[in-house]
Amino acid sequence: MKDIIERVKKISNAEVSIRKDNLIFVDTSRERLISVLYDMKLLGFNQLSIMSAVDRLEDGEFEIFYVLYNYKEKVNAVVRSRIDRENAEIETAEKIYPPAHTYEREITEMFGIKVIGNSDSGKPFILENWKDKPPMRKDFDSVGYVNMHYEFRHSADEETEGKNE
């Protein structure tokens, strides 16, 4: 077992589970999320690869994950935490990892999670003039939306102009 993993286990309020010898998962609660990220950065996990969310509809929760990388020990660590689905909000991690600023803009737009402290969260990022619910949620039906807003072609030589239904 690598020495770095022993040191990660000593962080308070963090449960470590090991998948491979270079991929570990660290679970924590919402309140301790920022302090766990800060402790991980002090241990040498100073690169953020990706940060996003998973919609756990049956549990009524969102699962936020951060994939971190430690170059000296060559270990990836995934820090996970569950937040409530109804009033979903987290604090920004951009002071610890600057690339998180852009990923947080994306999860606000795609999942509807509010990010406190991020000045650009809430502004349109990838979608434009979007009025429906956030599209990556599991209760947004993409095929239903398509059938309501677009039409398909039914045969090869269909007349286009003048027919509007």
Partner 1 sequence: MDKMTEEQYRAISNMLRKRSLWMLHYCTGCGAMELPPTMTSRYDMERFGIVPYVTPRQADILLVTGYVNIKTLRRIVTVYEQMLDPKYVIGFGSCPINGGVYWDSYSVIKRLDKYIPVDLYIAGCMPRPEAIITAFRYLMDLIDKGKADGYKRYKENLEFYKANQRKVLG
Partner 2 sequence: MKKRRGKMSKSYELFIGPNHPGIPGNFSLHLELEGDTIVSAKGDPGYLHRAFEKGMENRLYIQNLALIPRICVPEPDINEAAYSMAIEDLMGVEIPERAKYIRTIVLELARTTAYLLWMGGYAASLGLYTLSQWATGDRDYAIDLFAELTGARVYHMYIWPGGVRRDLPAGWEDEVLGFVRYLKDKLTDYDNLFFKNAMFIHRARGVAKITQEQALEWGATGPVLKATGVAQDVRKDAPYAAYGELDFEIPVLTEGDSWSRAIVRRIEIENALNLIEQAVKKMPKKGPVWTKMPNPFKWYVPEGETYAKVESSRGEHGFFMVSDGTEKPYRVAVRGASMPHMFTIAEKLLVGARLADASHILLSLDICPPEIDR
Q: Binding pattern to partner 2, positions 7-26, x when CB under 8 A?
A: ------------xx-xx-x-
Give which of partner 2, partner 1, none residue 161 binds (C-beta under 5 to 8 Å, depending on kind): partner 1
Looking at residues 76 to 105 of the shown chain, list those that interact with partner 2 (rule: CB under 8 A).
Answer: 76, 78, 97-99, 101-103
Q: SS3 for 53?
A: strand
By CB under 8 A, tell whether 39 contacts partner 2: no
Contact 30, 55 (CB under 8 A): no
What residues between 107 and 136 interact with partner 2 by CB under 8 A? 125-128, 135-136
Question: Residue 119 binds what, of partner 2, partner 1, none (CB under 5 to 8 Å, by partner type)?
Answer: none
DSSP 3-state percent helix, strand, coil across the chain (nearest 5): 20, 30, 50
End-to-end CA distance of the chain: 65
In this structure, which amino acid lies at residue 147? N
Distance CA 65, CA 96 (A): 15
Task: Specify the stretch interacting with partner 2 by CB under 8 A; choose among 7-15, 44-52, 82-90, 150-158.
Answer: 44-52
